[in-house]
Structures are given as C-alpha cells and as structure tokens.
Amino acid sequence: MPPVVCIIADDMTGAGDAGIQYKKAGHSVFLSLHPEHIDLLNDTDVIIINSNSRFMNPREAYLAIYNSVNTCRKAGITRFYKQIDSTMRGNVKEEIDAILDAADYKAAVISPSAPRNSRTVRNGFCFVGERMIHETDAGNDPFNPVLSSFIPDHFKAGEGETVLLGLDDLHDGAVELSERINSLINGGARYIVCDAETTGDLESIAGLSVLD
C-alpha cells in the first residue's frame, strides 16, 4: 500500500520536526528531498518531502509543490498536509494553492499555531508569546519580511474565499465543526483560518482529517 499521508515542508527544519513527531507516534516515516520512487515505499506510513522552496520566487515554489503532489498522486497518495512556518515566512499562499490545485481540494484549513513553542493564533492574528509576528524577528527577515500578523492578509482572494473560525467554533464539537466547515466550503471559502491557543485546539482541527 502507498503511504497514508504526504507532508510537504518548505525547509529541512520543518521536514525534520514533522518526521520526529510522527516517528514518536509510532509511524514509519520516509523523508525525501524529491518525490521520485515513492511508489516503492510499501512499508511507509508517512512520506515527508522537503521542497526547499522557502526562498524560491512564488512561481517556482508553486510549481515545486504542484509537481510533488502530482507525483505522489500517481503513486496512490490522496491525503496531503502542508507544513507552514509558524511566523508565516515563505511562499505560504502559493504553496497551499499548489496543493489545492494539484490534489483537486476545495479548501485548506490553516492554523500556524505551535502552542508548546508559544506560537498561537487569536482572532486571526499570529503571535509569538504576546508579540504579534510582524513585531518579532520575522518582521525583519532579510528575504521574506512578514509585514502583517493578520493571517487573512497573506491570502488575498475573492470575496468570501478567506474566512476565520474562532475558538467557539472549535469547541462546539467535532461533528458541529465539520458541518460548519463544509458549510463554509459550499459557500465558496477556499482558505479557512482557525484560531488555536492550545494543543487541544489543534487536536480539534486535526480531527477533521478523520471525518467524512
């Protein structure tokens, strides 16, 4: 059988972090710089691809992710997870667009939160501790300075395509949350940004992946 899920990170740090967490959870993991030969990975649950695309121009980053997803789909993989930087550095929108387009997904659920590292999302704003991300070193990044902490600003799109889900939505329960997101998608939402301040909030979001 092909791997259950493909995770695509834009640098080796993110790829390695993801691999360690899945390995700790008991999964067999394969980390690659390229998606070639993944059809031979019959004993691997999770494949992680380092696209090394954080500092590419947006078009190159889009194509790198799009081509990787296409290759993975040909090998039978249908579930994809895009790891993004918790301070929104890199080609976040372009790489999410690439997965949506190549995998024929209708929408992405987005939350660059890592509570154990003091990265949280509140009311659509991304924080490191109590500082908004544009006030941290990410705002002075020499290659990709983050100019806004409001996540929807990073997903300029048509009316209704970017929406926010607050903590109240997350705490309503798994079935209610799934129904809410399906309703948003049916209404034209493409980028669904979720608040998340705790590991429990992230678990609620992750639970969507196992619901029909």
Structure confidence by residue, pLDDT tens digits, 17-72: 999 999 999 999 988 877 766 665 667 889 999 999 999 999 999 999 999 999 98
Residues 182-201: b if buried by 16+ CB within 10 A, e if exposed = eebbeeebbbbbbbbbeeeb
pLDDT tens across 9-18, in order? 999 999 999 9
Q: Which residues pair with 126 in a beta bridge?
A: 121
- The two tokens of residue 190 are 């493409």
DSSP H or E segment with residue 200: helix 199-206
Residues 23 and 204: their CA atoms lie apart, in Å, by 21
The neighbouring-strand residues paired with 150 are 125
Determine the number of helices (DSSP H) and then strands (DSSP E) in the chain: 6, 10
Cα-Cα-Cα-Cα torsion 136, 21, 45, 82, nearest 10 degrees, comes to -10
State the Cα–Cα distance between residues 65 and 132, nearest whole angstrom. Answer: 28
Phi, psi of 206 (to 5 degrees): -65, -30
User: How confident is the model at residue 211, as a pLDDT?
Assistant: 44
CA distance 195 to 163: 11
Residue 22, helix vs strand vs coil: helix
pLDDT in tens, 95-119: 999 999 999 999 999 999 999 999 9
pLDDT reported for residue 33: 79
Q: In the predicted model, what is the mean pLDDT of the chain? A: 90
Q: What is the pLDDT of residue 87?
A: 94
